[in-house]
Amino acid sequence: MNFNDPPFKKGVSVGVSANAGALVMVVAFFIWLLSFAQFDMAKFEQANGSLRDALGLERLPSSGYTSSGETLLTTDFKKEIALIQIIGKTGNVLEKQIAAGEAEVVNVERGFIVRISADALFLPSSLNFRDDILPTLQQLGTLLAGVDNEVFVSGYTDAVPPPTGLPFTSNWGYSAAMAAHVVQYLSEQCGVAPVRLQALGLGQFSPRKSNATEEDRAANRRVELFVSRVKQPEMVEGVVEPAKTSQPGAKPGDDPVPSVSSETSP
């Protein structure tokens, strides 16, 4: 998959007026207070309805809450906050590579993307990681191990055939191998759950540049980690029991029908 959303820019200041800045601080403080708040939703809806009656307004439909002590800050909202924090920390981990133009962190609607140059990841004409990138990969993997979101790792190449020293006849296999090496490192060295990881190879068919110059081709050689806002789903697999050799009432020539039971893994 190819995402070309504009990246986060480091060092870009955003100016606001004094009043707007004060308003932002007030809103932030209010949200901070709400993070500790608990209240009875049923009483809140009752009070809200009474106020709308007094103003001659139509009552809003009930939210369906009937029990007291509901936490205003929901679990999903907390997870979204955690994901936003991960995005910021990822930018800090990749600060050196971002400054050198070798990486970027891109926020998209469905999650965020970590885009790293393949030349910064791997030794020339090799699938061995560069020594100077390993501490960064370790820190990045530690961050990803702390959340339960799905991670899609995609490898991309330029339009040039794979290096002759590697056992690949096409860029499909070469790009898939790049992604697989990153996935294996995240799982084995950083503790990211394998069920959360997927490796994809897209070859030269999703370029970011034209492949006309070496600079363009270098931009196309990359690995992208897409961290989805979708959380890790529960794994459900069908377990087929051994077929019985004979069943009561079965006619000669009838095929035995295996029974299938569903088992949910922890």
Same domain, 129 and 163: yes
Lowest mean pLDDT among 4-13, 185-194, 203-212: 4-13
Would residue 40 count as lying in a domain?
yes
Instruction: Return the residue matching tokens 């006619």.
Output: 251
> Could you tell me the CATH number of the domain that includes residue 121?
3.30.1330.60
Residues 108, 136: one domain? yes
26-27-31 Cα angle (round to 5): 120
- Between CA 50 and CA 157 the distance in angstroms is 63
Q: Which two tokens stand for residue 146?
A: 């702390």
Is 7 part of a structural domain of the chain? no
Domain final residue pick, 51, 71, 91: 71
Instruction: Answer with the residue of higher pLDDT: 153 or 234.
Output: 153
| Structure confidence at residue 62 (pLDDT) | 57
The closest of 145, 199, 193, 148 to 176, measured between CA atoms, is 199
Q: Match 């139509």 to its residue by tokens.
A: 58
Say yes or no: 142 and 171 in one domain: yes
The range of the structural domain enclosing residue 52 comes to 18-71
Is residue 110 a part of any domain in this protein?
yes
Out of 14-23, 50-59, 127-136, pick the least confident: 14-23
Q: What is the DSSP letter of 122?
A: B
**Are residues 62 and 154 both part of a single domain?**
no
Give the model confidence (pLDDT) of 226-259 as tens digits.
999 887 655 545 444 455 545 555 555 554 444 3
Residue 22 lies in a domain: yes
Per-residue confidence band for 19, with pLDDT thresholds at 50, 70 and 90: very low
Same domain, 167 and 47: no
Distance CA 63, CA 256 (A): 51
**Mean pLDDT value across residues 107-121:** 96
Distance CA 260, CA 240 (A): 5
Same domain assignment for residues 212 and 85:
yes
Predicted local confidence at residue 231, as pLDDT: 75
Residue 260 lies in a domain: no
Q: For residue 266, is pLDDT > 80?
A: no
75-93 and 134-145 are packed helices; what angle lies between their axes, rounded to 10 degrees?
A: 180
249 phi and psi angles, rounded to 5 deg:
85, 0
Q: Are residues 43 and 142 in the same domain?
A: no
- Residue 106, H or E segment: strand 103-108
Q: 50-54, 89-93, 94-98, 102-106: which range is least confident on average?
A: 50-54
Does one domain contain both 119 and 217?
A: yes
Residue after which a domain boundary falls, among 71, 88, 106: 71
Domain count, the chain: 2
User: How many Å apart are CA 27 and CA 94, to the nearest integer?
Assistant: 30
Separation of alpha carbons 93 and 209, rounded Å: 26
Please list the residues that pair with 105 across neighbouring strands.
114
- Determine, yes or no, domain membership for 263: no
Q: Are residues 160 and 52 in the same domain?
A: no
Q: Are residues 142 and 59 in the same domain?
A: no
